[in-house]
Amino acid sequence: MAVIKYTKEVIEHFKNPKNVGEIENPDGGATVGSPACGDQVTVSLKIKDNRIEDIKFLSYGCASNIATGSIVTELAKGKSVDEAKKMTWKDAVDELGGLPPVKVHCSVLAVDGLKAAIQDYEEKKLGIKHERKIDEQSIIEKLKSVIYPKTGHNIIDEKLVKYLKYENGKVEIEISFDETDVYKQNVLEEIDEHLHEIDGVEEIDVKVVEY
Amino acid sequence: MRVYLDHAATTPLLPEIVTYYADVLSEYPGNASSLHYEGQHSRQLYNWAKQTIADCIHVDYDEIIFTSGGTEADNMALFGCLKAIKNSHPERKKVITSSIEHEAVIESVKALGKMGYEIVFAPVSANGIVEIDYLKQQIDEKTAICSIMFANNEVGTIQPIRQISTLCQKAGCFFHTDAVQAMGKVEQDVNELGVDMLSASAHKFYGPKGVGFLYIKKGTPLEPVFYGGGHEGGLRSGTENVPGVAAMAKALKIVTGKIEEKRMQYQKWTDQILNTCKQIQGVQLNGDPDKRTPGSLSLSFSGINGEALMGMLSMDEIAVSTASACRSHSHSKGGSHVLTAMNCPLEFINGTIRVVLGWDNTDEQIDYFCDKLMEKVTLLRRLSNG
């Protein structure tokens, strides 16, 4: 807290987080992240007439992880399922009055948790099968969830990814960093984590190149 | 009430040092290398500071070189000594250190690796004590320098320095120890320890920031790292920091005289904190339970994130840290290299805070901290488990 500057809104949601807990017999639920990474969010939903009637979250994470869990559930409550699906991590960050770049990934995780819970609802309650076609475009979409901590933008928009190929379950990526970039290891771990979430991806080969 | 429990990051100046430091700043304007009255007045105080520090650690006056702090002392010891023996001992190309050193040593050693030295990072036990058997195998006639810290900055474990210095003497290599975290907390009979070089930093023992020293045993070869006006016998050029070294010497003298008294006081407080942890449950004390600097606790809590706990405590005016202060700057998921080297599971590493007591703490503050610790851990666990 001494080093990282948070807004009033973040501190308020961290001190008094809203919607903490787990809904009994939820209509949808999901856990994303892992305690080993230091970030984990569990989201559970109650849906009535295609609207999010109730939503709760549990967080095993840092201050901004807790604050983003609180704000995302606040924003989603009362929204229709379709509206909620359109929410982005930028909505959460804006509502909090901004997040330090190194903490933007927390808002991505919270929104991912919400979307995974909705997907769980659609699959279990509505029987909607989510098509899981993997191609280079869908991998790029996934990589947009990987935030470069130095700037708070994703690695695709930052143009760090120089080459990408997908074939028979194998992803090949070339990514460029300065030799001295302190965030390199962190980004590589995040890429690995996110791509492993895609069913069907079996092998990930990330090369660091210098341009 | 602000409660500062981060004394391994830095210590506040003792109130009497604040006064003394300010007095010296105004009363000793002269350059200690000038020959006029102002200069010689400053020189006298400078010499007194050096003698005082030498006395505190039981070494000779001319075995102390003043530096800008611990990092400079570490760099000077490693680069300066290697430079000095490069031509006389070309066969000695190995540099040995541990995997839990401070970055000042780790990064210096990595740089030496790039310069062509063979570098070895010795593993540590689960208690955070360097594996002495591993060192026995590694320290040999090809070794130039071995550098092992006296006490660790994250978990407080004290290393078997006497044993390692014997190994180095047998192999004929030089031994440096970074004693930044031990100075002022543990009695220092440096002559008896058998080390060739030892680093210390004033701001870790209630002296000012920006000043420290390197002990270098008589006869140990050393080349300067800085070149210039030939100060400190040509080994460390740069105008003498008279107020800094005087305040450092005064602080070390005061602190050294109270090591035993503070040890007992800290023991009482750490027992109280550990008892609170027992009630909280799911808490692990990292590092060796006995071989540690007084008042240092590294605590891992299951089911919570250390940064969140630090944040919660901070809002209630309590200052603790997650790992060492230097690490808080970088965002790394891997977390503490010290706890990683000790094979601490990642989940525990992420749930770790460091609590380090100091002279300014009171019974009332420790009571308050224990209450708040219990309250915040319970709250955060409810957040993660429902």
Give all domains of chain A, ordered by start, each with its CATH number: 8-125 (3.90.1010.10), 136-209 (3.30.300.130)
CATH architecture, range B15-256:
3-Layer(aba) Sandwich (3.40)
- Residue A61 has its nearest CB partner, among B308, B335, B382, at B308
Using pLDDT thresholds of 50, 70 and 90, give the confidence band for residue A131: low
Contact A21 B330 (CB under 8 A): no
Quote the pLDDT of residue B35.
Answer: 96
The end-to-end CA distance of chain B, in Å, is 31
CATH superfamily of B3-11+259-385: Aspartate Aminotransferase, domain 1 (3.90.1150.10)
Average pLDDT of the segment spanning A65-75 = 95
What residue ranges in chain B does DSSP mark as E strands? 3-4, 64-67, 94-98, 118-122, 143-147, 174-178, 197-201, 212-216, 283-286, 296-301, 318-319, 352-356
B3-11+259-385 with B15-256: one CATH topology?
A: no
Report residues of chain B scoring pLDDT below 70. Answer: 323-334, 386
Q: Kindly identify which residue of chain A lies nearest to residue B348, measuring between CA atoms.
A: A36
Would the pLDDT of A142 be above 90? Answer: no
Contact B386 A185 (CB under 8 A): no
In angstroms, rounded to a whole number, what is the distance separating the alpha carbons of residues B256 and B184? 5
In angstroms, rounded to a whole number, what is the distance separating the alpha carbons of residues B144 and B196? 12
- Using DSSP's 3-state secondary structure scheme, residue B218 falls into coil
| Joined tokens for residue B265 | 């006081």
Instruction: List chain B residues with CB under 8 Å of A38.
Output: 305, 307, 333, 335, 346, 350
What single-letter DSSP state applies at residue B76?
I
State the best of A1, A59, A190 to mutate against chain B, taking most chain B CBs within 10 Å. A1
Cβ burial, residue B223 (10 Å; 0-12/13-18/19+): middle
- Residue A17 has its nearest CB partner, among B307, B335, B383, at B383
Residues A33-63 have pLDDT tens digits of: 877 667 889 999 999 999 999 999 999 888 8
Quote the pLDDT of residue B385.
Answer: 83
Containing H/E element for A60?
Answer: strand A51-60
What single-letter DSSP state applies at residue A20?
B
Instruction: List chain B residues with CB under 8 Å of A11.
Output: 315
The number of residues making up chain A comes to 211
What single-letter DSSP state applies at residue B12?
P
Residues B248-260 have pLDDT tens digits of: 999 999 999 999 9
CB B313 within 8 A of CB B321: no
Contact B305 A36 (CB under 8 A): no
User: What does pTM read for this prediction?
Assistant: 0.87
Percent of chain A whose pLDDT exceeds 90: 44
Quote the pLDDT of residue B323.
Answer: 66
| Joined tokens for residue B279 | 């009630």
In angstroms, rounded to a whole number, what is the distance separating the alpha carbons of residues B230 and A128? 79
Q: How many CB pairs under 8 A join A and B?
A: 76
In angstroms, rounded to a whole number, what is the distance separating the alpha carbons of residues A66 and B249? 46
Told to judge if A62 belongs to the known catalytic residues of this protein, a careful annotator would answer: no
Question: What are the boundaries of each domain within chain B?
Answer: 3-11+259-385, 15-256
Q: Which residues of A touch B (CB under 8 A)?
A: 1-3, 11, 14-15, 17, 20-22, 35-40, 58-63, 65-66, 102, 149, 182-183, 185-186, 189
Quote the pLDDT of residue A4.
Answer: 65
Contact A2 B319 (CB under 8 A): yes
Quote the pLDDT of residue A47.
Answer: 96
Determine which one of A71, A106, A143, A187 is catalytic. Answer: A106
Give how far the C-alpha of residue B22 lies from the chain's centroid of Cα atoms, to the nearest Å.
Answer: 26
In angstroms, rounded to a whole number, what is the distance separating the alpha carbons of residues B156 and B286? 9
Strand-strand pairing, A39-48 and A161-167: unpaired
Contact B333 A186 (CB under 8 A): yes
Q: In what order do the strands lie in the sheet with B352-356?
A: B283-286, B296-301, B352-356
Strand-strand pairing, B143-147 and B94-98: parallel
Predicted ipTM beyond 0.85: no
Q: Which residues contact B16 (CB under 8 A, 6 or more apart)?
A: B250, B254
In angstroms, rounded to a whole number, what is the distance separating the alpha carbons of residues B138 and B170? 12
Q: How many CB atoms lie within 10 A of CB A79?
A: 16
Would the pLDDT of A22 be above 70? Answer: yes
